[in-house]
Amino acid sequence: MTAVPTPVEILRWLQPRQPAILERLRAWVGHESPTAEPERVRALAAVVAADFAALGLRPALHPGALELTYAGEGGAPVLLLGHLDTVWAAGTLARMPCRVDGDRLFGPGVYDMKAGLVMAHAALEALRALKVPLPPLTLLLVFDEETGSRASRPLTEARARAAYAAYVLEPGAEPEGGLKIARKGIALYQLAARGVAAHAGVDFEKGASALVELARAVVQAASWSDPASGLTLNPGVFHAGTRANVVAEEARADLDVRAWTAAALAHADQRLRALRPADVRVTLEIAGGLNRPPMEPTPASQALAARAQALGRELGLELPLARTGGGSDGNFTAACGVPTLDGLGAQGAGAHAAHEHILLSALAPRTALLAALLAAGSSAPPTRQLGDALSASGRPLPGIEARPQPDQREGGSGERWPRHLAAP
């Protein structure tokens, strides 16, 4: 067996190949892939599948995702997770072309997250060229992440349950490109009130305003927001009534609820469902619920993060640990009990915004980090969480021993996450 190269040796292999890596990135950005146009997403999937097949990965097209598997040389399986869709409508490239300005490469979807996908390709290319033994890999690239992953979620969860760890290729946390080890859970609700319509001048007392009652409920729910604890309830949409001189018969509102813990989301859910209109002639119905469970840090995910930080330091990368209120498919894998490390994609800024870009200088070092993590993957699994992964998948995984690791007891080398996470 060939000795595993150091992260710096991997970086040295990558650096002279940066032009080819960027060429691939430009090509993939050139295939616009809005979630709402599945045929465009599948066209990109075909290009991506061919590029990964050239590295020896076996592609399989599912209704909601492209799956690429690599048999590996042994050890526990690793899940690499990404999405092919972007929030950008077809035609955006015409007014927002892929362009370089200094250290920044701009383009729709380049940061979220086509650069992350290209990095995974380059990392595997390096590892294959350097003949590094790898664990079995599943690269799952879903088609609908930007709209909630409804179609792809069951597949993501099934592959996660069979993996010992999930690496998510979403962008790093801004501005330093930090590793994301916590994401808020998200619950989405639709509130609907129905009252009694009446003439505002002739029959005002006979009316029962759905608008007034739903407004009361929504203002009350919003007042439970507690930014200090991370709980937020955002009524982002409100529709009601027909005319100013009519007591409103119908009203509806959409509510986005987020929190760091499943317990906080469950508590907010209870309170929402207990809301009652003051006017008994108005009915209030609540639909919806949990969309993405929170990604809560675990000893095993922190051990993975500590390993990534240590490897990053060898590459000159200082990677803070971060948490974010935004969701990703990492929420699903973490909720399956699988150690999840998110934010391993590009460093940059402007996801979903006109200034979306990546930093070119960070591309090769972060790709080397991803490669080093994969190379280390089969030799030192994060065992603490494996009990959960094993019981969830219901079948034994090869090459795994359930024993605590020293760096899990100590929280890993370097800085521990609570210091960052506790910051207001």
Please tell me the distance from the alpha carbon of residue 361 to that of residue 375, in angstroms, as a whole number: 23
Close Cβ partners of 37 (under 8 Å, ≥ 6 residues apart) = 90
Phi then psi dihedrals of residue 173, to 5 deg: -70, 140
Pick the closer one to Zn ion by CB: 178 or 207.
Answer: 178
Residues that bind Zn ion (CB under 5 A): 112-113, 170
- Contact criterion met (CB below 8 Å) for 166 and 339: yes
DSSP assignments along 164-207, one per residue: SEEEE-SPPBTTTTBEEEEE-EEEEEEEEEE-B-EETTTSGGG-
Shortest Cβ 356–Zn ion spacing (Å): 11
Instruction: Compare residues 113 and 300 and give the one whose CB is closer to Zn ion.
Output: 113
Buried b (16+ CB within 10 A) or exposed e, 283-315: ebebeeebbbbbbbbbbbbbbbbbbbbbbbeeb
Write out the DSSP string of 338-350: --EEB--S--EE-
Pick the closest to residue 158 from 378, 327, 377, 395 (CA basis): 395
Q: Least distance from C-beta 58 to Zn ion, angstroms?
A: 25
The residue among 88 and 164 lying less far from Zn ion, judged by its C-beta, is: 88
DSSP for 77-112 reads: -EEEEEE--BSPPTTHHHHS--EEETTEEE-TTIII
Nearest to 267 by CA among 330, 325, 204, 224: 224
Nearer to Zn ion, 144 or 170 (CB): 170
The answer to whether 329 touches 345, Cβ cutoff 8 Å, is no
* Interstrand relation of 179-183 and 246-247 (parallel, antiparallel or unpaired): unpaired
- State the minimum distance, in angstroms, from the CB of residue 77 to Zn ion: 23
Nearer to Zn ion, 110 or 389 (CB): 110
Which CB atom, from 168 or from 255, has the smaller least distance to Zn ion?
168
Least distance CB 137 / Zn ion (angstroms): 20
Q: How far is the CB of 295 from Zn ion (least distance, A)?
A: 14
β-strand pairing of 78-83 with 165-168 = parallel
Choice between 51 and 85, CB closer to Zn ion: 85
Minimum distance, C-beta of residue 191 to Zn ion, in the bound complex (Å): 28
Nearer to Zn ion, 112 or 356 (CB): 112
Contact predicate 103/357, CB 8 Å = no
Q: How far is the CB of 80 from Zn ion (least distance, A)?
A: 14
Q: How far is the CB of 170 from Zn ion (least distance, A)?
A: 5
Residue placing its CB nearer to Zn ion in the complex, 125 or 170: 170
Q: Least distance to Zn ion from the beta carbon of 233, Å? A: 24
Q: Name the residue number minimizing CB distance to Zn ion.
A: 112
> Which tokens in the block code for residue 5?
């190269």
State whether residue 38 is helix, strand or coil: helix
